[in-house]
């Protein structure tokens, strides 16, 4: 059974490519690596490339001092960009009829790290530290209070698919009649836990990540926040389909067959009532780890063949972990929205040296445009533990 589309009338984003949709849209279609910078603080004793939000993030209002952390500050920037649309939805439906479902994997743990450093140095917790700052589940609670909403509010934490899973959760809330609209998205920001955790797994690239290359050697950690409003009303960009699967293959390695990834994409197509030929572009999960790219290339080729336009945007932003699904859904939204894009696709930034072990894919070069007559695009997110998600967005009214 095909699901009814949901409109996405508003989107807000802060990422290594910029702190507003217009800036991000312009950077997204250029061959840019400006979002990646060298960092000497996060990974103990190492210099690594990270996708960092450029510039400062505004402080939160005084009423939210116990929520003050980089994660919530980034989320607040994205939420502020959709705040007017959310207020109109709350006025129309009631504040209790608008849900907030957000994804994250680290929350504000960087504030917890800094507070623990202070304890070791000074013997006491910093006066302004509050445990709420580092709770993963605190993201949605903060966002609901920030927007003045009283409907269901919760955080999804499924590693790198977290902020994509929220689209499925929110759609179920709307379909069940629990709410009439929902704010979805997510945030993750840089911290030592992820930099050193992925370093311990030997998954951090020695330079800029190089997805689908024979020379790929791992990921760059990044940070971002993105927020969307979902409603039953038609919009310029709509949520068309969702596919979710669970491999349960390994705690940190994907199923090498790619079957779970393939099924997630196939289910998203079926959910949207579309065929593989209806998709103009695939935003690859494309982490540049040996196992992920091998299995994803196999799955995408099996379903779409060799001619589907696709790219990984992670060389521009780094892997933004729990924010990756929402960040890359925002990239689809910008690519599809006529006010932000004239048909250009995000380029695939790499060294051009294909891995002969991965089936051939049509990786986007700068200036490539979407095929005429195709108005739907798909984005993949594949998380630790085999939590797979595919989203399909398309042009609406």
Whichever domain contains 108, its CATH number is 3.40.47.10
Give me the pLDDT at residue 334, please.
Answer: 98
Give me the pLDDT at residue 337, please.
Answer: 97
Digitized pLDDT (tens) for each residue of the chain, 397 residues in all? 577 899 999 999 999 999 999 999 999 999 777 889 999 999 988 999 999 998 899 999 999 989 999 999 999 999 999 999 999 999 999 999 999 999 999 988 899 999 889 999 999 999 888 888 888 889 999 999 999 999 999 999 999 999 999 999 999 999 999 999 999 999 999 999 999 999 998 899 999 999 999 999 999 999 999 999 999 999 999 999 999 999 887 776 777 788 999 999 999 999 999 999 999 999 999 999 999 999 999 999 999 999 999 999 999 999 999 999 999 999 999 999 999 998 899 999 999 999 999 999 999 999 999 988 899 999 999 997 779 999 999 999 6
**Distant-in-sequence, close-in-space partners of 336: CB < 8 Å, separation ≥ 6:** 236, 237, 375, 377, 393, 394, 395
Nearest one of 19, 116, 34, 129 to 77, comparing CA atoms: 19
Give me the pLDDT at residue 252, please.
Answer: 65
Give catalytic residue positions: 160, 285, 319
Distance CA 391, CA 182 (A): 17
Helix, strand or coil for residue 194?
helix
Identify whether the C-beta of residue 254 lies closer than 8 Å to the C-beta of residue 261: yes
Give me the pLDDT at residue 256, please.
Answer: 79
**Distant-in-sequence, close-in-space partners of 332: CB < 8 Å, separation ≥ 6:** 237, 281, 283, 377, 379, 391, 393
Distance CA 243, CA 258 (A): 14
Distance CA 272, CA 263 (A): 14
21 part of a folded domain? yes
Distance CA 206, CA 209 (A): 8
301 part of a folded domain? yes
Domain that residue 78 falls in: 6-395
The total of structural domains in the chain comes to 1
69 part of a folded domain? yes
391 part of a folded domain? yes
1 part of a folded domain? no
Distance CA 368, CA 349 (A): 13
Classify residue 347 by its DSSP letter.
-
């Amino acid at each position: 059974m095909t699901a009814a589309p949901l409109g996405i009338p508003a989107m807000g984003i802060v990422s290594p490519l910029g702190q507003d949709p217009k800036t991000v849209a312009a950077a997204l279609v250029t061959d840019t690596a400006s979002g990646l910078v060298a960092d000497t603080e996060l990974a103990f004793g190492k210099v690594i490339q990270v996708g960092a939000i450029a510039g400062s993030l505004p402080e939160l209002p005084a009423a939210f001092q116990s929520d003050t952390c980089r994660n919530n500050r980034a989320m607040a920037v994205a939420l502020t960009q959709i705040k007017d649309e959310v207020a109109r939805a709350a006025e129309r439906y009631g504040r209790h009829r608008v849900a907030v479902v957000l994804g994250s994997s680290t929350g504000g743990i960087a504030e917890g790290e800094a507070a623990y450093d202070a304890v070791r140095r000074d013997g006491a917790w910093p006066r302004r530290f509050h445990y709420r700052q580092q709770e993963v589940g605190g993201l949605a609670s903060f966002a609901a209070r920030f927007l003045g909403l009283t409907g269901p509010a919760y955080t999804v934490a499924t590693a790198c698919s977290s902020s994509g899973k929220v689209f499925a959760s929110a759609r179920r809330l709307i379909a069940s009649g629990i709410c009439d609209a929902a704010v979805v998205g997510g945030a993750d920001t840089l911290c030592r836990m992820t930099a050193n955790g992925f370093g311990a797994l030997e998954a951090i690239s020695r330079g800029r990540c190089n997805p689908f290359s024979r020379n790929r050697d791992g990921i760059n950690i990044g940070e971002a926040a993105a927020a969307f409003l979902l409603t039953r009303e038609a919009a310029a960009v709509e949520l068309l389909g969702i596919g979710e699967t669970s491999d349960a293959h390994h705690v940190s390695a994907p199923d090498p067959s790619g079957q779970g990834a393939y099924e997630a994409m196939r289910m998203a197509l079926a959910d949207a009532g579309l065929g593989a030929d209806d998709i103009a572009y695939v935003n690859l999960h494309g982490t540049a780890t040996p196992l992920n790219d091998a299995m994803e290339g196999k799955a995408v080729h099996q379903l779409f063949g060799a001619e589907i336009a696709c790219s990984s945007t992670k060389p521009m932003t780094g892997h933004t972990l729990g924010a990756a699904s929402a960040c890359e859904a925002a990239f689809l939204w910008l690519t599809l929205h006529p006010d932000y894009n004239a048909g250009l696709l995000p380029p695939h930034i790499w060294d051009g040296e294909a891995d002969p072990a991965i089936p051939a894919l049509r990786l986007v070069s700068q200036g490539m445009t979407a095929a005429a007559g195709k108005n739907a695009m798909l984005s993949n997110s594949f998380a630790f533990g085999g939590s797979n998600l595919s989203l399909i967005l398309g042009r609406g009214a």
